[in-house]
């Protein structure tokens, strides 16, 4: 139910009996709620919860004794503690509570103020008013010139426009909606007026049906009812369940959105992988065979640049030789493309079943999420799904691999990562790799002052070629040197460097080495 005027009246009367003279000794705050701990004259403690969240706004005693999310939104409230509650007042049929408080200034003199709690949907507010009726502080401040009331420090406090008092007008339309329904179902106006004056004595009622649960001062038509000996405890339990349900819905929505996004991503990937799997490398292998078979013709006639021969399928094939190339170069290029496609097919044969299995798991998770689950279950699933995401927000700062002997190899993804890897991540004696005279990633072998094995050097150099524009070349020179001999190029963009004391490795791309390092699979997935 809305936290309506009848509930406010009931709480007002209970507080007048229990909390007048109580001293507030502690204030806890979160983004939209306040928890006050007060000590009564009999030395017992009470906790008062004020929630300013629209739709959940309320004020009542609670069994809560701590707030988990502590982000004080009103530090001025802390400066009031300790203070004594001197009076509690609720205007007739208003959702406004004025709590008169007494505190002491720096000289020990008593100072009277008022905490005004306005529970009015999106206009809900908590306002501190001084003894002169001026606003000292507020949770939601409204400067002069804005539509509606002004709520601004040092300005006079203006209460909300008063509502009609139905006990005076005797007009049922002036009652809150719940009271109207109760009257329409046969409730007595005289009984309501008598109980209003008494503050709706216990028991109040917990109402429930197959769709909802509520708390009200009377049994209501259309609900089953059971007595609630403590109105505020019943309200505390009810809203706690509602907040839990709201949290569950939010977590469920977040999880389903994440699952849906991942399923769409995997579906697109699988569609592309199936297309890639249809590509055949046999044509490249046959072209390599033809170049080797007819290389004698080009050797016999050095001026020959084009030759038409019969392919394996009986169709004519044109062998065209570019300047500076030999038939063996053309054959090597064709065989390299064949091996690359073959390696991709092998990787896809592992990836496609894995992604299909993940899609089945996501479908089962989506179905499982539709039934009510504990909050911790949703949080655990969100954490698990977040750990498997490979988007930019979740991925590691750099690509990471392990060399043959367990050394770390890091590879930058772009020029900013290249600069960060080289000049922030690297230690002075780590080895730095880059393809010679070809754009590509910076590669770092985390060896420190040790001299790594040749296999470790080849692993790092292989990755430098694979993540460069020269990855399709047959033999690629890769320079490497200690990081301390690399410096930024003056006035250049991030990632552009100068280096010295380098050595050079000549790398022929090796699919087996890349598979061992995990580079091929990572390239396909990421």
| Burial of residue 152 (number of CB atoms within 10 Å: 0-12, 13-18, 19+) | middle
Give the per-residue pLDDT at 423.
Answer: 94
Cβ burial 266-304 (10 Å sphere, 16+ → b, else e): beebbeebeeeeeeebebbbbbbebbbeebeebeeeeee
Handedness of CA 405, 407, 408, 412 (dihedral sign): negative
User: What is the fold of 5-163?
Assistant: ibrinogen binding protein from staphylococcus aureus fold (2.30.310)
Q: Give CA torsion, residues 18, 22, 24, 25, to 10 deg.
A: -120
Q: Distance between CA 48 and CA 34 in Å, rounded?
A: 8
Alpha helices (H) along 156-215: 166-169, 177-184, 189-198
Distance CA 5, CA 9 (A): 6
Contact criterion met (CB below 8 Å) for 399 and 410: yes
pLDDT of residue 61: 95
What totals of helices (H) and strands (E) does the chain contain, helices first? 13, 22
Q: Taking the CA atoms of 230, 235, 236 and 240 in sequence, report the sign of the dihedral they define.
A: positive
**Whether 494 contacts 416, CB under 8 Å:** yes
User: What is the pLDDT at residue 1?
Assistant: 53
Q: Which residue in this structure is represented by tokens 């991925």? A: 395
Please, what sign has the CA dihedral across residues 368, 371, 374, 379?
positive
Query: Which pLDDT score, from 0 to 100, does residue 2 have?
Result: 59
Cβ atoms 31, 46 nearer than 8 A: no
Q: Give the C-alpha separation, 443 to 447, whole Å.
A: 12
The two structure tokens encoding residue 126:
């908590």
Query: Judging by DSSP bridges, how do beta strands 476-482 and 316-320 pair with one another?
Result: unpaired
The residue whose two tokens read 């690629």 is 476
What are the residue ranges of helices labelled H in 199-281?
231-278
Q: Which CATH class is domain 256-388?
A: mainly alpha
Quick one: CA dihedral 41, 44, 50, 56, positive or negative?
negative
Q: What is the CA radius of gyration of the chain?
A: 38
Q: Token pair for residue 360?
A: 């089945």
Q: Answer for the pair 31, 69: CB distance below 8 angstroms, yes or no.
A: yes
Q: Determine if residue 214 is left, alpha or beta; phi over 0 gives left, psi from -120 to 50 gives alpha, anything else beta.
A: beta
Helix axes 177-184, 189-198, angle to 10 degrees: 140
**Domain layout of the chain by residue ranges:** 5-163, 167-229, 256-388, 399-525
Give the contacts of 491 (CB within 8 A, at least 6 positions apart). Answer: none
Question: Tens-of-pLDDT digits for all 526 residues of the chain?
Answer: 557 889 999 999 999 999 999 999 999 988 889 999 999 999 999 999 999 988 899 999 999 888 876 666 678 898 899 999 999 999 989 999 999 999 998 888 999 999 999 998 788 999 999 999 999 999 999 999 888 899 999 999 999 988 888 989 988 888 888 888 899 998 888 999 999 999 999 899 999 988 889 999 999 888 999 999 899 999 999 999 999 999 999 999 999 998 999 999 999 989 999 998 898 889 999 999 999 999 999 888 888 889 999 988 888 999 998 888 899 999 999 998 898 888 888 888 888 998 999 999 999 999 998 888 888 998 888 888 776 554 444 456 789 999 988 899 999 999 999 999 999 999 999 999 999 989 999 999 999 999 999 999 999 999 999 999 988 888 899 999 999 999 999 888 888 999 999 999 999 988 888 888 888 754 443 3
Dist CA 371 CA 161 (whole Å):
45
Task: State pTM to two decimals.
Answer: 0.62
Do domains 5-163 and 256-388 share one topology? The answer is: no
Q: Can you tell me whether residue 255 is helix, strand or coil?
A: helix
Helix (H, G, I), strand (E, B) or coil at 226: strand
pLDDT, residue 522, reads 42
Sign of CA dihedral 354, 355, 356, 357: positive
The tokens describing 513, both together, are 């080495």
3 state SS for 50-87: EECCCCCCEEEEECCCCCCCCCCCCHHHHHHCCEEEEE
Count how many residues are written for the chain.
Answer: 526
Q: What's the sign of the alpha-carbon dihedral 100, 98, 22, 79?
A: negative
Calpha distance 477→487 (Å, rounded):
20
Other CB atoms within 10 Å distance of the CB of residue 499: 17
Q: Is the dihedral of CA 383, 389, 394, 398 positive or negative?
A: positive
pLDDT at 227: 94
User: What pLDDT score was predicted for residue 122?
Assistant: 82
Tokens of 362: 């996501």
Helix (H) or strand (E) holding 455: helix 454-466
Residue 467 token pair: 């993540």
> Tokens standing for 490?
């003056």
Q: How many CB atoms lie within 10 A of CB 348?
A: 21
Q: Are 21 and 41 in contact (CB under 8 A)?
A: yes
Element (H, E) at 484: none
């Amino acid at each position: 139910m809305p936290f309506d005027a009848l509930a406010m009246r009931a709480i007002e009367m209970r507080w007048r009996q229990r909390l007048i003279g109580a001293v507030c000794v502690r204030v806890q705050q979160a983004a939209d709620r306040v928890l006050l701990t007060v000590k009564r004259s009999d030395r017992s403690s009470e906790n008062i919860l004020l929630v300013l969240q629209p739709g959940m706004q309320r004020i009542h005693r609670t069994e809560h004794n701590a707030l988990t999310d502590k982000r004080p939104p009103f530090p001025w409230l802390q400066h009031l503690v300790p203070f004594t509650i001197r009076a509690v007042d609720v205007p007739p049929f208003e959702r406004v509570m004025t709590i008169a408080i007494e505190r002491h200034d720096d000289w020990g003199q008593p100072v009277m103020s008022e905490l005004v709690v306005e529970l009015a949907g999106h206009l809900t507010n908590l306002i501190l008013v001084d003894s002169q009726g001026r606003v000292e502080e507020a949770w939601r401040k409204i400067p002069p010139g804005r539509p509606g009331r002004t709520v601004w420090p040092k300005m006079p406090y203006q209460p909300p426009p008063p509502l009609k008092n139905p006990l005076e007008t005797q007009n049922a339309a002036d009652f809150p909606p719940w009271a109207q329904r109760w009257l329409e179902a046969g409730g007595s106006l005289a009984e309501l007026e008598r109980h209003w004056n008494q503050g709706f004595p216990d028991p109040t009622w917990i109402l429930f049906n197959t769709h909802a649960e509520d708390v009200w001062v009377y049994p209501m038509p259309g609900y089953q009812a059971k007595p609630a000996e403590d109105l505020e405890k019943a309200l505390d339990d009810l809203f706690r369940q509602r907040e839990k349900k709201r949290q569950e819905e939010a977590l469920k929505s977040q999880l389903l959105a994440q699952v849906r996004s991942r399923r769409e991503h995997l579906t697109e990937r699988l569609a592309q992988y199936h297309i890639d799997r249809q590509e055949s490398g046999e044509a490249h292998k046959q072209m390599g065979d033809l170049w080797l078979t007819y290389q004698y013709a080009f050797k016999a006639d050095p001026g020959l640049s084009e030759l038409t021969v019969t392919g394996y399928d009986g169709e004519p094939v044109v062998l065209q030789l570019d300047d500076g190339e030999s038939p063996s170069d053309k054959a090597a290029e064709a065989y390299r493309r064949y091996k690359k496609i073959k390696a991709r097919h092998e990787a896809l044969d592992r990836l496609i079943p894995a992604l299909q299995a993940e899609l089945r798991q996501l479908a089962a998770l989506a179905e499982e999420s539709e039934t009510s689950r504990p909050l911790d279950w949703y949080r655990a699933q969100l954490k698990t799904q977040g750990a498997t995401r490979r988007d930019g927000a979740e991925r590691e700062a750099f690509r990471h691999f392990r060399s043959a002997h367990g050394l770390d190899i890091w590879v930058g993804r772009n020029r900013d990562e290249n600069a960060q890897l080289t000049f922030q991540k690297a230690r002075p004696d780590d080895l730095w790799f880059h393809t010679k005279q070809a754009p590509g990633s910076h590669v770092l072998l985390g060896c420190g002052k040790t001299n790594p094995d040749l296999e470790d050097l080849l692993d790092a150099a292989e990755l430098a070629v694979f993540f460069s524009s020269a990855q399709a070349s047959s033999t690629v020179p890769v320079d490497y040197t200690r990081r301390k001999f690399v410096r930024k190029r003056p006035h250049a963009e991030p990632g552009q460097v100068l280096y010295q004391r380098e050595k050079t490795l000549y790398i022929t791309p090796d699919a087996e080495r890349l598979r061992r390092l995990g580079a091929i699979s990572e390239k396909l997935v990421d």
